Chain A
Amino acid sequence: MLVIRRHSGDAISVGDEVEIEIIECGVNRVKLGIRAPQHISVLRREVKLTRDQNLAAAQSMSGAARPGMLAPFAGGKPS
């Protein structure tokens, strides 16, 4: 991993299309500005993790992945 020190107002280029600017530095938070073309997805890591996990969870329920779990469902009641 590349580790570099930057000040507020400094920026980093990633490839030709992505630029990350350090807008503000606080005590334990930094504010970043990210400029990237539309085809590059920019997500907070926890959002990406959640998204991937939701897709896997939905996938795991599809088809007959869990027939035993769903079989006794007849007569289930809404809460």
Chain B
Amino acid sequence: MTFNSAHLGRIEVDESSTIEFPRGLPGFEDRHRFLLMHHPANEGLVFLQSLETPDLCFLALPARSIRDDYQLAIPDEDLEVLGYPHGHCPEIGKDVIALAVLSLVEGESPTANLLSPVIIQTHTRRAVQAIRTDDRYRCREPLVVEEAVCS
């Protein structure tokens, strides 16, 4: 099927590349289906396009591309959503993808949310925004923008 995104134009949606947030995201609790797409000019950047709201789209970067030693700390209730037992620690890259949502407010330095990474289970494509309960990373972690991203 095709989908008309307010930001990305007409896009082809392959059902197998959609992801599902059973509980939505904080602030968007009733949005459940998203499409994960790579930016063609910058492979690291990904778009999270809502398939229910054409003008809802997030830009994100893999957490480990911002902090190469990024460690997960997923609360039990979020592990349940992903289908893991309590206390389990899935591996980034193997079991899950961990993305940091970017905020690009005009006139401000871009920031990445490393406090609440979007965790996608790579096999089931179920996802959750897992809010850490420690203070190891910040919600507005300053981002060094490469020239290629700005141009």
- Asked if residues B27 and A55 are in contact (CB atoms below 8 Å), the reply is yes
- Secondary structure class of chain A's binding surface, majority of residues: helix
**Given known contacts A49-B139, A60-B104, A61-B57, is B7 in contact with A77 (CB within 8 Å)?**
no
Q: Which of A29-58 touch B at CB < 8 Å?
A: 44, 46-47, 49-58
The residue from B26, B38, B104 contacting A61, defined by CB atoms under 8 A apart: B104
**Given known contacts A74-B9, A79-B38, is B113 in contact with A50 (CB within 8 Å)?**
yes
* B144 nearest CB across to chain A (Å): 16
Q: Place the interface of chain B in its size category.
A: 35 or more
Residues of B within 8 A of A70 (CB): 7-8
* A79 nearest CB across to chain B (Å): 5
Residues of A within 8 A of B92 (CB): none
The residue from A53, A62, A73 contacting B103, defined by CB atoms under 8 A apart: A53
- Asked if residues A57 and B59 are in contact (CB atoms below 8 Å), the reply is yes
Q: Place the interface of chain A in its size category.
A: 20 to 34
Q: Which of B111-151 touch A at CB < 8 Å?
A: 113, 115-116, 129, 131-133, 139-140, 149-151
- Asked if residues A46 and B115 are in contact (CB atoms below 8 Å), the reply is yes
Residues of B within 8 A of A52 (CB): 27
Residues of A within 8 A of B40 (CB): 72-77
- Asked if residues B59 and A69 are in contact (CB atoms below 8 Å), the reply is yes
Whether, in the assembled complex, B37 has its beta carbon less than 8 Å from a beta carbon of chain A, the answer is yes
Give me the 10 closest cross-chain CB pairs, A-B, nearest first: A78-B17, A51-B26, A51-B27, A50-B116, A54-B27, A57-B103, A49-B139, A60-B104, A72-B41, A50-B26
Some 26 contacts from A to B, beta carbons below 8 A apart, are: A44-B131, A46-B115, A49-B139, A50-B129, A54-B25, A54-B27, A54-B28, A54-B101, A57-B102, A57-B103, A60-B103, A60-B104, A60-B105, A66-B59, A69-B39, A69-B150, A70-B8, A72-B40, A73-B9, A75-B40, A76-B11, A76-B37, A76-B39, A77-B37, A78-B11, A78-B37
